[in-house]
Structure 1
């Protein structure tokens, strides 16, 4: 009963019970490297030994600047089982942010893809790295990954680990200020893997083929490198190639059954499938998980209805990795489609061991599917504070230890969370709330609209009004007036945005979400809105 819940135990199980199960990793030349859990586990242990031979003290941060591939997978295990800490850096962030994060975390070792060496050169003089290890061809003065691996002891085994010690560090993307770090313990990873794999959530089995499209440098790839290994499922690591054609090639070729990523990835996939119906084989998929932002209903129904691709809504954050999955509960399995649909559009029911509540202006709100409040959550893998940021921690955690998510939600009587908006993104117009995801979904129902983002902009009369930014599908167009007419039956009249800006593409954050901060900065100029805009308020 006192066996440590740690990453070493996950690796041991994969090595002992699934040694011949395949792991496929896409290489920089687009070829697929094939290995097994047995081979990867042996290499991870050897890498752990090699890292220790660099003279690293317990708790030392080992940063990675890598795509989703087999060497990154090895580092996910090697540093934690050696008593060190893996710290995935996001190469999509601005170099200034990457340098800040590496310095703030105190990273001492960097494992970097050869393709990211130009980025490393931009941050080199502002980071605390003492050893730099290159996956690929190492230039003079740097150490090659295989060269480092060769220095490790192939017989090395991890010592007993403290399950509450830090295994990984991950940072927020910093879109609303400086990035903030979160420490993730061995125990958190183990319990998260157990909970997420259960039936009703990911339901992973050893005959699954799991492909994390969410990168390993973002939200720990939702914990999938650990969860799939624990269950012995085949893993497909797509490398840097996350375009629709590359993903569809892997889905068909490897018979992927479960995959997950952000909505912009699946919107691109839907457009590719729509452009050539019947060309791509997606019949192996039992679920495509979408998280990181609200998935437009038109996209969910397009994938499910036109291409039999079952997209499942999820919700999570850097501070808690994965938190909820929108599978249908037992009492909805045989319900009419009209009753099932709103539950599929919700963010889902929290995973086992997670507790939720929502706080409104007058206190905690009822679970009635209508009352709005900011979602608060606690559980065994929810962070307790930010690294070295006591003021930010005090602001984000309640006095009794619940994490304030910043998501404004309703909670149904079945426990389904539905996000109305991020607290910072809600439009408060004349004292009334307008949900930007609902407006975005209504706009993306239009056949010409590929992407739509809605932000609050200052207004002299109503304080704030919604502004929509829209990008069209190739070869299509519509006027702002036509778009307003299209969504008018779907939303309250006073929700209709007076300003609709047409762009070629909506700017994205480093993790593929719409960059609403950039949009607000670009378009937030006060206007004098006609009284008609609020006539029905």
Structure 2
């Protein structure tokens, strides 16, 4: 017997049609490269997306082809997010912060046929041109009169392209398993790997992310995705905001500047924002210096890397509840979310903050487990650490160009799961420090030292040690105007982490290196300190 329910295909076109019907007049605000702001509505955005779909047809872009974007968060990029997948093509977002040779590699690996780019990336593309496909078509995201002179072949202006097209388009009925988006990992080891999303996975991901125990967006919200649209679909916000009918603010190329963010939040009355910890640090440092409040911002989410407890406390000082999410390119990215619960308030202050910086509970649709080196599932007791694995309808089963696999996806994280289902990331497998045969969590040490008032940023890496195999080295960026002493910072850790976890040395740095996705590059730090000479007088207690 079969059911008697309608079998509509789950695809991104559903989001577009829904938003046009329930939020046609809701505003999308974009910060442009020159600092000005562009404003229009969802209705106007999707009318332009239809023009763009017609233009893709006229350019001869075949169904199923990859169409690349190299752009910041603004209204034109938003239009590409809908026109490309809803017309049956694949939206391939490229991270401009990757090394140039990585950008050339992924363009060729994806077999991109058209590349839409912000004009500021023209010099980069001209340098890469010889190594890119000869038949590549280039479209600069600007008006015809702003199109720079260039050596790029087949170069067109986005606005001139759209001006020739009708805003009527007969969107194809797409099978929900049709590929919709392609995003490459940052490639810290080897070449970047592509994750191919489907219409079905994208729609389900955004439905789950919109539940009340996750982002929980409302139509009354004004959403600011500071996380770039070239990185895992800006954590789904260009789709989730439209699905809910929330007002959307796109911050353009200056998303990491604290002063610009504070002005944008206040002037546009942003209620919910998303970014990595370094973004929130930049915002807080500006607020501390200027004394400017941000009264409209009630909630924000931090993801991408571990969130120090001090960051949660500093955001609370400004009336912002900082919520933590965990995920990765391979999970679309949402895997878990930590929405504060009423029982948190019964905890002592220190324990409450520790609870709030956990990665949260798996969202509906995601299954998580931790396993040992033999793949045996470990207990959910909040104490036992193991390799974190995930599965679900928006978790990748294989990389672009490869073969799908069965079973669970290995995330590369080391974690615990407790009885309530809360995930605590203790480290990346590649970053765990093994000293005297025992594991040391770099994240726990970093979180502890970040509570020191003179510490702006911190990283802990394992460095070769003649006796213990590896020992932790603490690397600290002081807060402006402070001059902490290395020994004082090491002493500050006493009683906050296991005594034998306390690093043997501390080095003060002007800044930490970051990856293309805004995470501290511990790979680069390990290379830099590979030949580090430990102090003659080392700390006493060892494993």
Aligned to 2:492: 486
Q: Secondary structure at the match of 2:113?
A: strand
Single out whichever of 464-473 and 208-217 deviates more from structure 2: 464-473
Q: Secondary structure at the match of 2:330?
A: coil
Aligned to 2:286: 272
User: Is 1:341 aligned with 2:353?
Assistant: yes
- Aligned counterpart in structure 1 of residue 320 of structure 2, from 302, 306, 309: 309
Where does 1:70-89 land on structure 2 (aligned, <5 Å)? 70-89=75-94
Cα–Cα, structure 1 residues 205 and 135, in superposed 2: closer, same or farther, change >3 Å?
Answer: same
Aligned to 2:202: 189
User: Is 1:357 aligned with 2:369?
Assistant: yes
Cα–Cα, structure 1 residues 144 and 164, in superposed 2: closer, same or farther, change >3 Å?
Answer: same
- Aligned counterpart in structure 2 of residue 51 of structure 1, from 40, 48, 56: 56
Q: CA deviation at 1:438?
A: 1.0
Q: Is the contact between residue 460 and residue 527 of structure 1 (CA under 8 Å) also seen in structure 2?
A: no
TM (normalized to structure 2)?
Answer: 0.94
Aligned to 1:288: 300
* C-alpha distance in 1 between matches for 2:222 and 2:318: 20
User: Is 1:366 aligned with 2:372?
Assistant: no
Aligned to 1:100: 105
Where does 1:456-475 land on structure 2 (aligned, <5 Å)? 456-475=462-481
Residue by residue over 1:506-537, the C-alpha shift from the partner in whole angstroms, topping out at 9 and shown as x without a partner, is 11111111111110001022657889747353
Aligned to 2:176: 163
Aligned to 1:220: 233
User: Is 1:198 aligned with 2:204?
Assistant: no
Q: Secondary structure at the match of 1:314?
A: strand
Q: Is the contact between residue 460 and residue 529 of structure 1 (CA under 8 Å) also seen in structure 2?
A: no
Q: CA deviation at 1:504?
A: 0.7
* C-alpha distance in 2 between matches for 1:459 and 1:497: 12
Q: Is the contact between residue 459 and residue 526 of structure 1 (CA under 8 Å) also seen in structure 2?
A: no
* C-alpha distance in 2 between matches for 1:365 and 1:498: 32
Aligned to 1:138: 147
Q: Is the contact between residue 460 and residue 526 of structure 1 (CA under 8 Å) also seen in structure 2?
A: no
- Aligned counterpart in structure 2 of residue 421 of structure 1, from 413, 424, 427: 427
Q: Is the contact between residue 244 and residue 272 of structure 1 (CA under 8 Å) also seen in structure 2?
A: yes
User: Is 1:37 aligned with 2:30?
Assistant: no
Q: Is the contact between residue 459 and residue 529 of structure 1 (CA under 8 Å) also seen in structure 2?
A: no
Aligned to 2:270: 256
* C-alpha distance in 1 between matches for 2:46 and 2:345: 40
Single out whichever of 322-331 and 52-61 deviates more from structure 2: 322-331
Q: Is the contact between residue 458 and residue 527 of structure 1 (CA under 8 Å) also seen in structure 2?
A: no
- Structure 2 residue ranges without an equivalent (≥5): 1-5
* C-alpha distance in 2 between matches for 1:403 and 1:269: 35
Q: Is the contact between residue 459 and residue 527 of structure 1 (CA under 8 Å) also seen in structure 2?
A: no
* C-alpha distance in 2 between matches for 1:101 and 1:512: 19
* C-alpha distance in 2 between matches for 1:405 and 1:358: 10
- Aligned counterpart in structure 1 of residue 446 of structure 2, from 426, 440, 443: 440
Residue by residue over 1:155-208, the C-alpha shift from the partner in whole angstroms, topping out at 9 and shown as x without a partner, is 112010111010000000111221000000001111111110011111111111
* C-alpha distance in 1 between matches for 2:321 and 2:466: 45
Aligned to 1:9: 14
Residue by residue over 1:431-487, the C-alpha shift from the partner in whole angstroms, topping out at 9 and shown as x without a partner, is 111111111112211111111111111111111111121111111111111111111
Across the two proteins, how many residue pairs are aligned to each other?
527
Single out whichever of 68-77 and 440-449 deviates more from structure 2: 440-449
- Aligned counterpart in structure 2 of residue 65 of structure 1, from 67, 70, 77: 70
TM (normalized to structure 1)?
Answer: 0.95
Aligned to 2:3: none
- Aligned counterpart in structure 1 of residue 120 of structure 2, from 115, 118, 135: 115
* C-alpha distance in 2 between matches for 1:329 and 1:176: 38
Q: CA deviation at 1:139?
A: 3.4
Cα–Cα, structure 1 residues 506 and 339, in superposed 2: closer, same or farther, change >3 Å?
Answer: closer
* C-alpha distance in 1 between matches for 2:390 and 2:118: 36
Aligned to 2:260: 246
* C-alpha distance in 2 between matches for 1:335 and 1:528: 41
Q: Secondary structure at the match of 2:305?
A: coil
* C-alpha distance in 2 between matches for 1:138 and 1:528: 55
* C-alpha distance in 1 between matches for 2:10 and 2:295: 36
Q: Is the contact between residue 413 and residue 428 of structure 2 (CA under 8 Å) also seen in structure 1?
A: yes
Q: Is the contact between residue 68 and residue 239 of structure 1 (CA under 8 Å) also seen in structure 2?
A: yes
Aligned to 1:512: 518
Cα–Cα, structure 1 residues 489 and 335, in superposed 2: closer, same or farther, change >3 Å?
Answer: closer
Cα–Cα, structure 1 residues 490 and 298, in superposed 2: closer, same or farther, change >3 Å?
Answer: same
Q: Secondary structure at the match of 2:471?
A: strand
Q: Secondary structure at the match of 2:315?
A: helix
Q: Is the contact between residue 309 and residue 353 of structure 2 (CA under 8 Å) also seen in structure 1?
A: no
